[in-house]
Structure 1
Amino acid sequence: MPTTATDVQNVRTQQRRRRPSSARRDEDAPIIPILARKVREVEAKAQRGKLGPTNRVKFQVIAFLVREERARVKADTEITDAVRAELLKRLDGVATILAKTAARDTSLIQLLEVDQATSPVAKRMRRDWLLESGAELPPDELIITDVAPAVAPVVPAALAERQVVPPQVEARRDANPFLAPDLELRAPVSSARRRLDGWELMGPLYKAFETGAGGGSATMELPPVPEFDRLSPKGLEVMPHQSRFLEAVRAGHRSFLLADEPGLGKTAESVLAASVADAYPLLAVVPNVVKMNWAREVERWTPQRRATVIHGDGDAIDAFADIFIVNYEVLDRHLSWLGSIGLKGMVVDEAHFIKNLTSQRSQNVLALAARIREQVRNPLLLALTGTPLINDVEDFDAIWRFLGWTNGEKPGPLLMERLDATGLTPADKSFYPEAREAVISMGIVRRRKTDVAKDLPDKLIADLPVELDDDYGRSIRQAERELGARLAEKYRRIVESRSHRALEPGEIDEDIVRLVAHGELEDAKAAPAGSENVFTMVRRIGQAKALLAADYAVQLQRSVGKVVFFAKHIDVMDAAEAHFAAAGLRTVSLRGDQTAQARQQAVDAFNNDPAVAVAVCSLTAAGVGVNMQASSNVVLSELSWTAAEQTQAIDRVHRIGQDEPVTAWRIIAAHTIDTKIAELIDSKQGLAARALDGEAVDPQSSDSVQMSALMHLLRQALGA
């Protein structure tokens, strides 16, 4: 859309008021001080590794203006040779900083090409700087026309050959070959000009957040807690802060950056939001480590809905499900059919994963979101992340694009309308707090544990099931089946040797089950190294989970700060520490072979040094006598054999003096004995509580977790 002469006059008037005194002191080249200031801003961002899209455009504009100004100075016959030499020297200084910046990020070099096309954003930036310097520009440089964005295909050519269509999806299409049209898409879109149409706004929007303009929490105004809980299934209860978010969905809001801290129930909120908005079919794009947890949360909170998890080529999916759950790594194979089945909503979990706009996974997510907006006028779009900003405020860029708030170059129609309603421009200092509030009102919700502490239990154990779907994981499940078969064979031999009573079909003799399990447990304790038994199996599960657990701890740390990471075995601790180091996190370690002095130094560093991000602790060596209240989040990468050991580990942070509710994230390998062990640990805790309360105790409560786990494997093998 072109900029009118009236708009340009307003721009020129406002910016002349703001012209710095340095511009008045440089009558021969007033643009140079502006370029010097801008190039320092870009250099500072590059040094911190925060060179986002806006600063890349800024780099390009500085380079073009340096080139133009150098040619002008050389051709100016009205200045002396001494002045010319001084001006060229100053321009060389700007060019030198540009070169050093490009050396840090070589992708900037292509922006220096003479024939590099400039975007409307770059043209506006160049115009605004020249107007700030007092230059009189010809009309053709004042009027800048936006180029209609090219519509990118959902499936790029490079991925076309990788596309798969699961057989069940074909069945769904055959059952309903026509998508119901969304007639609201025909609603006319206003084409009226707005006062801010001629301004470059993305830079000011980022600046408004970078400076925290206006202060206050970045949370939109939410409705009050409803009088009645109309959403929770039987046995569950939505917390007040979750209810307020869901009431906003009920009121018609459909796009959110849900940036609550981990442990506040973002997954449950998203599942219930889809139900409130009737946004089915819904796509959830999630990290692999939480894929199984998503399926479990759908079943818990909306049991009337069906969820299906997409693995590999999706041969086993339920194409008639309401919710499709896919991890980032396999999304590229399923773009074609996901873009054509009529999705009405999309959730992106750990949305900071898409911050790199050049990555294929970011492009996949954005292309699918764009297709959904083409098909549905007001789809449900949720970006979930406790860490929307990792390196720079421009990390917002991809998330805002996903939500449809901006297109990367300028705000979308709704955000532009809210910015225009302020009556201000970026030339006004008061524009920035108003702009920040306008973006927040689009759907940013950020709550911390301390904000909603009264809603939370003082200690929460949150299970995160993970799927071990590689060859190593499959070998573990095969070993479990073989162990179960071995136990079943022993059981059958004993049953066949008895002559006094025959068992009814399907009947299991629990005394023999206990006898076989006890014998296996004793054999395992005495077994030589390298033999396959319940202890080596659980250790292998811990090794298989190590990197998944460490990766989750990295994401958690970026959101909530310090994290305590517990493991049972040294090799798991070593693998986790290597992963943390590769992620740039500083750690301390608490192990059994440390002296008391070394251990205390590690604890003090964790509690007092802001640079220490993670404490990697042995579940047995650091489970007692250690105080780590600097964190309120614990990751249990391996399960203990006793409930007491787990409790002791969590109580390193859950103790007198802790100001925040504590969350323990328990990483559990789905479809393995790990799941049963977690269940047994919880039952032991429940039994202890009942015993202390004077209630009756199950006669089997004296069985160890190992014994109970083996009995479970045997019953499973017998088909019970």
Structure 2
Amino acid sequence: MPTTASAAQKTANQRRRKTSPARRDDEAPVIPILARKVREVEAKAQRGKLGPTNRVKFQVIAFLVREERARVKADTDLTDASRAELLKRLDGVATILAKTAARDTSLIQLLEVDQATSPVAKRMRRDWLLESGAELAPDELIITDVAPKVTSVVPEALAERQVHPPQVEARRESNPFLAPDLSARAPKETPRRRLDGWELMGPLYKAFETGAGGGAATMPLPEVPEFDRLSPKGLEIMPHQSRFLEAVREGHRSFLLADEPGLGKTAESVLAASVANAYPLLAVVPNVVKMNWAREVERWTPQRRATVITGDGEDIDAFADVFIVNYEILDRHLSWLGSIGLKGMVVDEAHFIKNLTSQRSQNVLALATRIREQVRDPLLLALTGTPLINDVEDFDAIWRFLGWTNGEKPGPALMEKLDQTGLTPADKAFYPEARGAVISMGIVRRKKKDVAADLPDKLIADLPVELDDEFGRSIRQAERELGERLAAKYRRIIDARGDRGLEPGEIDADIVRLVAQNELEESKAAGTGADNVFTMVRKIGQAKATLAADYAVQLQRSVDKVVFFAKHIDVMDTAEAHFAAAGLRTVSLRGDQTTAARQQAIDAFNSDPGVAIAVCSLTAAGVGVNMQASSNVVLAELSWTAAEQTQAIDRVHRIGQDEPVTAWRIIAAHTIDTKIAELIDSKQGLAQRALDGDAVDPQSSDSVQLSALMHLLRQALGGE
């Protein structure tokens, strides 16, 4: 709706135009500028590239059209013919705005704003009016930034769950004022950059997905210092750890530490906090490694105190330097953790936050945002040996945590690096440069073979077993029935839409994917009811349990200690009963144990010669556990991801291991188990390509479950 200009606006508008850029525009020199700007916005909208800058431009054009229309109608010096001509030209600009809004309906709400509200919009309006030759009032020339709005770290839905440990109140009362960080001021206005109008997140992911430029994804690190001044007496950090810590000493503060599992990321993080004096430090970790983290703090920085947060935190040491909390209970501690002046944060197994819709991810990101609001250049560390699970966009949450991006565009520091390349995503050379720019922000990825020459290689050996009993035959029959059920759905779709030119025997890949995806979604919703890909894999694990346990017994007699991994509790129970019948002592690592009981089991396995086998859950013992007393692993059941399998094997393939490591995978022959093993191995190529720069042929980023179902369907259709 047109609005009437205020008296001040009329006066200011009537003072415009000491000079006129063109004869026909003497009476309204701002109109050609609006016409040019609206064409720019229209062109961006047609290409689907209407980013934040062009949305603001759209908004400013809309209310300048209204201002100018009101001025023209109120100007008594204009003839009726001139007024009609100017209004016609303004209507032309408004028509283009309307067409653009029809293309992108989210713009419609911007048409309702009557004045420039944000500093960016006010500057844009000022600059265009000055370009037109207008004389503006002093209050229109000087535009100040508004203070950034500080959002609450605690979502409204979690407010009632917040706890307030008494010890924290004692800490506040002993020092009621946080030491001010005078460097953490409102940021200066970000200068306009050449790449501001480009969509950059997609190209950044593509740069990693294609392994553009090759080479390991590791930022340049300083050389190893001549003396080790960090290790406490009796300990010594390794050269690769020392180089990382030198980067911290030189002032780098945000890292994706993606070293392969077993290279001492926990120790590096503990020492990094000491180098950066990033205390209080928060470590958000999986529940199973909380005790190990406290031990590492005591071991590497004995002058610092660590406290483990459990439950509602009644027993915490609020005066500690390092607070250790697990993901599951972080939600109830957000309030006080966001208010005690944290200067650093470590997220262990950072791939746990990859799902941005999950509460754990939102909690971590909210705390990281609060820390950046309070402290200039806090220490932020994301630790994960497997940052990519199925897709390169798994980087998204980690990059947000580190402040490198906000999910929609790069942050100022990364944008500056990209701008310095002098390239755009339209240039092929942009992609290796972009990958290098992100890596230089703080990605550190070292492989064992590169940094620990004395660490033996690991071998994964597959042991096919034949399920030749009634149970095995029923599993194979269930697989055939599932394949036929999928094939029937496929044929119904083909019959309904026609073959559309398919050659005899040719299979439509898109329909195969559609049918498999639908089956996967139904299987997830159905749980363990009817036969589906999940129930079949579980039955296969049950059928292999005794065979795998028997092999572990034989292996133990030859090599001493063995680590036995399974996914399901009933498989673990069967194995433990078999080991007991064979006279072997075992320890068990399960998800329902307390942290103390789990650590006691680990210590017994590593130090007690009488403990022969550790029976471990793939999910509960797959991270943060050191079991290098063994060099042999039996994988009784397969995981759904290559990352989970790697994590399990690397419980023994770690610093301190002095023997070659072998992982024995028990594979049920002639079942979907064989295909799953093949798919898991193929997924290794994603991390190798994106992080290590290896020339690995691109593989599908589909999940193992989806790929397995597609395989079953093709097999039933005679395609495989």
TM-score by length of 1: 0.50
Greater relative contact order (Cα < 8 A, sep 6+): 2
The normalised TM-score by structure 2 is 0.50
